[in-house]
Structure 1
């Protein structure tokens, strides 16, 4: 329930800061938008002015084109209409940020999407002390508990190696922004060539331009020896697995890398041969640890398992409530990227 003097409230356009007169990740066009990261449900076209963390510039421009973008280094503060604003690493994807707001002696933090697990491709999550914490809860159920990345990458490498011996391509469906680059950073490129879908390539370019090392990749049209396709690891959005694009690889084994693979039946419903549980969001212990590290006594929960998380936090003695937002899961992001980018 909104309280007098709240630094962030709900409006039809999105999450609004009344004293600062700006929005955080608005879903309708506004004059001033603070963007936590470049996924399509958080960074939309049509705002008058964008503010984002400096490492996000390349991916934002890759996705949104020519926008009026102001960037801010992590930890550096600016003041707008008396609100002191700074951006802090969220560990979700390249350039992802939590938004810290300070006004009249109160501190609020809006997390955006975040994960606490290590990731070679982006700055690690940084707990920020605050009075009120707005947290995501995409995987806000106790069943979600992630294994270490090294174990998952070892599983992917073993699957890829087995497919090379069998003479079939290893097609790994993953979100084009964030997940694909994280996988590239962890797999063993000596196993075979790596081919990426047209939705993935511009994001790879943006990551490399930001100084993130990634192994060499090719588009399918750049592969001269067709035999290489039978040894390849192929990274593509989920929508591409059901398209005619896949036919050019011949015999394939398909897999999907996502936190949703922890649910029984998710792999079967998608028609994948394998599922790798790899998420760019915090799991249940990660969410609780991040919330606890803020020291916040009031927590506002957004997209995901909101009622479960709110109830649990209330049982722990915190003041908890939910915000209704139009942020979706990353499947929406993946399909949007596939539709907007060339498939070649």
Structure 2
């Protein structure tokens, strides 16, 4: 019996026929990288392959690396295995990886979402036999409201805070969420200030995406100038002296985890907005159905619960352990790399 086209080992997801890994978590010779978040894009590989819009992002984070860029739907062949990258809709440059050998097709999603956000190239359905999917929010409780509704609530919150003479501090991870928020904030309300981690990433992304003007907060920034305006900051800045100097302020967080009761209180946040760069329950199920895949492999997230439900629906579904962490990694580790 032939081994699976893609295998999970202690380094990552491995295609033995091509000697290529996808999003490996230990140093390897050849690595296809789906996107720039730290749990999927790690330092130490000899050769990186990724979508060309992801190159400046991973170079910003990883430094001098040997990297080759590919276009969407561009097929590249390694030892008779055909690879191609397809939009995942997660963040700018995020890709699914299609792998084909002798007529058998596997797809690894990386992280993905199906709602168009105005930043990332929208998610593309890729037909396959085996679909490797994240399920960060793989519970029925996770059902996202449309982005336009959430952003309306955020802008309304900012406007109300300004009327009360308070600064609005909005937390979102530095790569992806911050730019998504920034793209849809209403600049008629006031100015947008940024933490250094977010401003650094904005500078990397601005050549690729039009973003509103922002002002970096420095030691020379006057508290009076910030008052009533909005500050975009990474979650790691919460509770620091950097934040406390902006009083009076109100804090808010944009995250899928805000769908859980008590999440806002546990994080000591004044206001929670449910906005995720991952699929919700319905998005996961509709994506899986659209691929036509019979075999489903669930990686990070609520893998056991989600795969059990898929089996009840008739899929050949199982789980695999990885070192991908979904939105927890994005909210906690990502920004620390940018300080």
Structure 2 counterpart of 1:80: 78
Q: Distance in 2 between matches of 1:313 and 1:4?
A: 25
Q: Distance between the aligned counterparts of 2:227 and 2:152, measured in 1?
A: 20
* Pairing 1:143–2:141 present: yes
Identify the residue that residue 254 of structure 1 maps to in structure 2.
251
Deviation of 1:225 after TM superposition, in Å, equals: 5.2
Structure 1 residue 317: Cα displacement: 1.0
Preserved CA contact (<8 Å) 1:138 1:281: yes
Q: Which runs of 5+ in 1 are unaligned?
A: none
TM-score (norm 2): 0.97
Secondary structure of the residue aligned to 1:57 is helix
Partner of 2:325: 328
Shift of residue 224, structure 1, vs aligned partner: 5.3
CA contact under 8 A between 1:121 and 1:182: conserved in structure 2? yes
Please state whether the residue corresponding to 1:205 is helix, strand or coil: helix
Distance in 1, Cα, partners of 2:21 & 2:27: 10
Question: Secondary structure in 1 aligned to 2:333?
Answer: helix
CA drift at 1:40: 0.3
Q: Which residue number corresponds to residue 202 of structure 1?
A: 200
Alpha-carbon deviation of 1:222? 7.9
| Contact 1:141–1:308 under 8 Å retained in 2 | yes
Name the residue aligned to 1:129. Answer: 127
Cα 1:223–1:181 change in 2 (3 A) is farther
Pair 1:236 & 2:242 matched: no
Note if contact 1:175-1:331 (Cα within 8 Å) is conserved in structure 2: no
* Alpha-carbon separation, structure 1, partners of 2:158 and 2:193: 13
For residues 104-143 of structure 1, what are the alpha-carbon distances to aligned partners after superposition, in whole Å with 9 as ceiling and x for unaligned? 1100000000000111011000000001000000000111
RMSD: 1.3
Q: Give the alignment's TM-score, normalised by structure 1.
A: 0.96
Q: How does 1:76-225 map to 2 (within 5 A)?
A: 76-210=74-208, 212-221=209-218
Structure 2, unpaired ranges of 5+? none
Number of matched pairs: 339
